[in-house]
Amino acid sequence: MNIFSLIFLSVFGLFNLLGLSQELFLRQLIYLFLGFLGYFIIKSIGSHFFRINNKFFYWFFITVLIVTFMVGLEVKGSKRWLNFYFFNFQGSEFFKVFFILFMAEILTIKNLLSNSFLNFIKVFLYFLIPFIIIFKQPDLGNAMIYFFIFFTLLIFSNFSKKYLGYLVGLIVTFTPVGWLIMKDYQKARILSFINPHLDVQGSAYNMIQSVITIGSGMFFGRGLGLGTQSRLFFLPENTTDFAFASLIEQFGFLGGFFVLIFFTIIIIYLVKKTVYFYYQKSEVDQKKFLYCLGMLTYFVSQTIINLGMNMGIMPIAGITLPFISYGGSSVMALLIGFALIP
């Protein structure tokens, strides 16, 4: 059922794009073809190769992030992509899967779990390096996804919970500092979420238009390609951050309901996998448990944040909706991640 749910969501995302841009529809079709091809290849060869080379993949993508930060394609003030002419490669999307794989491996190394403060700092630095680079791109939304993944894996690892207390204390202490180093537009997004009337035509515009777009879809939607809010560009980022709002406008509450049903099916599949490996006792099974838990956290947090910002109940964070939003890096990374699930 898992693969059929992934295919269904991908097809629904394609139809949504078809009603917005035929060019993006064709590009996404190619990305999906390559993504599912990679999915079946990885499924056939197994995950062993990736697991034994997890450290190589970690440092490879750290290098990619550094190169992207230095010479990456700049779009709207952010350097998140490497331009390969036919394809913009977003390393932070692909790295999510290999970051989970790497953390699942090191958090089960017995020597590392000796509960010494030095070992905890070592593990924390493995998270902090990519977090800082992605935060400075700037990409606060994806940086937070990495934090959610790391924090969740740490909770269920064998590290002493007192170190979690240290981490929470560190977060509380440095939150004001984080606010000071945030970009002005990131601060404006948070403030406009708290009070949308502060800047209706500025920082709150996207959120307000998203809510209007969802409302205009009503029960059955306006029809494929007939959404006025998205087609006439009243709604910015209508194929990426706010693709769900565009989908509701075209296919209505009914279309959105079916999409949410299949999101739920995938989440239940991930929960079942995670629970199964949780009760297994071998070290290999514990690695599988942490990987499944990381993928669950990745998928759920990204889905909830995107749906929340589309409905105006969360600040805008620049997070795409899995399989619905346009983006080759996102969809191919997700399919690689699901292929590596044991």
Q: Which tokens hold the place of 144? A: 């937070």
Let me know the angle formed at the C-alpha of 231 by 229 and 237, rounded to the nearest 5 degrees.
Answer: 80
Task: Give percent of the chain with pLDDT exceeding 70.
Answer: 89
pLDDT of residue 38 exceeding 90, the answer is yes
Across the range 46-67, mean pLDDT stands at: 94
Number of domains in the chain: 1
pLDDT digits (tens, 9 = 90+) for 196-216: 555 555 556 777 788 888 888
Across the range 69-88, mean pLDDT stands at: 82
Question: pTM (2 decimals)?
Answer: 0.91
User: Amino acid identity, residue 334?
Assistant: L
Distance from first CA to last CA of the chain, Å, rounded? 15
**41-76: buried (b, 16+ CB within 10 Å) or exposed (e) per residue?**
ebeeeebeebbeebeebbeebbebbeebeeebeeee
Please give the mean pLDDT across all residues of the chain. Answer: 86
Q: How confident is the model at residue 187 (pLDDT cuts 50, 70, 90)?
A: low
Q: Which tokens hold the place of 245? A: 């709002």
The number of helix segments (H) and strand segments (E) in the chain equals 14, 3
pLDDT digits (tens, 9 = 90+) for 282-331: 888 899 999 999 999 999 999 999 999 898 888 777 789 999 999 999 99
Across the range 32-40, mean pLDDT stands at: 96
* Residue 186 structural domain: 2-339
